[in-house]
Amino acid sequence: MSDLLFPLSTLAATAPDIPAARLSALPPATRLVFRGREAAIGPAGIAFGAELPRQACRFKRSGDRLAAWLGPDEWLLLAEDADPAALIAEIEPAVFGLPHALADVSSRSLGIALEGPRAAYVLNQGCPLDLSETAFPVGMVTRTVFAKAEIVLLREAPERFRLDVWRSFAPYVWGLLEEARRELA
């Protein structure tokens, strides 16, 4: 994939392996933003293939599908290896006639994974949240900032975080994560 379409490819290829906090670019994924009222939430989740969580700041995963609660009536739907048009065609009939909005934002963001025993420490170099497992447990998601960039942050495992960052900010965030990891090398 070209650097224009996937600007992290060159950076990821040259990233040093630092086991305490491994950094990797995640493959492209379909990203949809779903907004809906109560009646549309259940059918949308069934059609998408992953339940839309009702608990604030949580995500649910089913296979290669992930639904992340971003607000009282807003979810980020992530699907690996899915065609956005086909995915929309699966969801729209299930919520037809119900108040909702469904938008393809796949080109907007890129995914970055940070994992290892010092991953939370590295993230805290630019993110003001308490990333202890008590305050930010596995299954939690939130919009936040990393330095001056807005990100969506998910904790996928005790030592694994996923950052969803706008494409234009991805090299900036990557560079800051690399800088924060240097002392661990």
pTM of the model as a whole: 0.93
Question: Residues in the chain, how many?
Answer: 185
Residues 109 and 5: beta-carbon distance below 8 Å: no
Residues 122 and 114: beta-carbon distance below 8 Å: yes
Q: What is the per-residue pLDDT across 95-148, written as a single tens digit (0 to 9) for each? A: 999 999 999 999 999 999 999 999 999 999 999 999 999 999 999 999 999 999
d(CA 166, CA 105): 10
The structural domains of the chain, ordered by start, are: 9-27+108-184 (3.30.1360.120), 29-104 (3.30.70.1520)
Would you state the torsion angle of the CA atoms of residues 152, 115, 7, 105, taken in this order, to the nearest 10 degrees? -30
Mean pLDDT value across residues 9-33: 93
Q: What is the per-residue pLDDT across 58-104, written as a single tens digit (0 to 9) for each? A: 999 999 999 999 999 999 999 998 999 999 999 999 999 999 999 99
Give pLDDT, residue 114. 98
